[in-house]
Amino acid sequence: MPRLFPALLALALLRPAAPTERATPNDNRASAGTLRSGVLTVNLEARAIEWRPDGDDAPGIAVRVFAEAGKPASVPGPLLRVPEGTEIRALVHNALDAAIVVHGLSTRGVPLGPADTMRVGPGETREARFVAGAPGTYRYWAATSSPTIGGRSGADSQLGGAFVVDPRGTAPAADRVLVITLWQQDADAAGITGRSDVLRFAINGRSWPNTERLAYTEGDTVRFRLVNLSAAVHPMHLHGFYFDVESRGDGTRDSTYDAAGSPHLAVTERLPPGRTFTMRWVPERAGNWLFHCHDNFHVLRNRPLDGTPLPPEQAVHTHDHTRDMMGGLVMGIAVRPRPVVAVAASAEASPRRRLRLVARTDSGGTDAEPAYGYVLEEGARTVPNGGPLLPGPTILLKRGEPVSITVVNRLREPTAVHWHGIELESYYDGVADFSGTPGHIAAAIAPSDSFEARFTPPRAGTFMYHPHADEVRQQQAGLSGALLVVDDPAAYDAAHDVMVLITVPRRDADRDRVLLNGSLAPSARELRVGERYRVRVINIHPYRPSMIARVLRDTAAVTWRAVAKDGRDLPPDQATVRPAVQQIGNGESYDFELVPNEPGDLRVLVTTGTGVPLASMPIHVR
Report the largest interatomic distance among the alpha carbons of the chain, rounded to a whole angstrom: 79
User: Which residue number, 547 or 602, has a Cβ lying nearer to Cu ion?
Assistant: 547
CA 514 centroid distance within chain: 20
The least CB distance from residue 201 to Cu ion, in Å, is 7
**Distance from first CA to last CA of the chain, Å, rounded?**
74
The least CB distance from residue 138 to Cu ion, in Å, is 21
User: Which residue number, 54 or 295, has a Cβ lying nearer to Cu ion?
Assistant: 295
User: Which residue number, 288 or 586, has a Cβ lying nearer to Cu ion?
Assistant: 586
Residue type, 488: D
User: Which residue number, 293 or 580, has a Cβ lying nearer to Cu ion?
Assistant: 293
The least CB distance from residue 200 to Cu ion, in Å, is 12
The least CB distance from residue 230 to Cu ion, in Å, is 8
Residues forming a β-bridge with 526: 620
User: Which residue number, 269 or 423, has a Cβ lying nearer to Cu ion?
Assistant: 269
Q: How many whole angstroms separate alpha carbon 225 and alpha carbon 239?
A: 17
The least CB distance from residue 235 to Cu ion, in Å, is 7
Q: Applying CB under 5 A, which residues contact Cu ion?
A: 234, 293, 295, 298
Strand 613-621 vs strand 525-527: parallel, antiparallel, or unpaired?
Answer: parallel
Contacts of residues 96-100 at CB distance under 8 Å and 24 or more positions apart, as own/partner, are 96/46, 96/47, 96/48, 96/64, 96/122, 96/144, 97/16, 97/122, 98/122, 98/144, 99/144, 100/46, 100/64, 100/142, 100/143, 100/144, 100/159
Which has the closest alpha carbon to 197: 232, 236, 150?
Answer: 232
Which has the closest alpha carbon to 564: 455, 465, 459?
Answer: 459
The secondary structure of 453-475 as a DSSP string is EEE---S-EEEEEEESSSHHHHH
User: Which residue number, 198 or 355, has a Cβ lying nearer to Cu ion?
Assistant: 198
User: Which residue number, 298 or 468, has a Cβ lying nearer to Cu ion?
Assistant: 298
The least CB distance from residue 328 to Cu ion, in Å, is 8
The CA angle 385-390-393, to the nearest 5 degrees, is 60
User: Which residue number, 153 or 404, has a Cβ lying nearer to Cu ion?
Assistant: 153
Torsion of CA 464, 469, 475, 478, to 10 degrees: -90
CB distance 550 to 502 below 8 Å: no
User: Which residue number, 298 or 317, has a Cβ lying nearer to Cu ion?
Assistant: 298
Which has the closest alpha carbon to 502: 477, 483, 474, 482?
Answer: 482
The least CB distance from residue 295 to Cu ion, in Å, is 4
The least CB distance from residue 469 to Cu ion, in Å, is 19
The least CB distance from residue 232 to Cu ion, in Å, is 6
Region of residue 379 (left: phi > 0; alpha: psi -120 to 50; beta: else): left
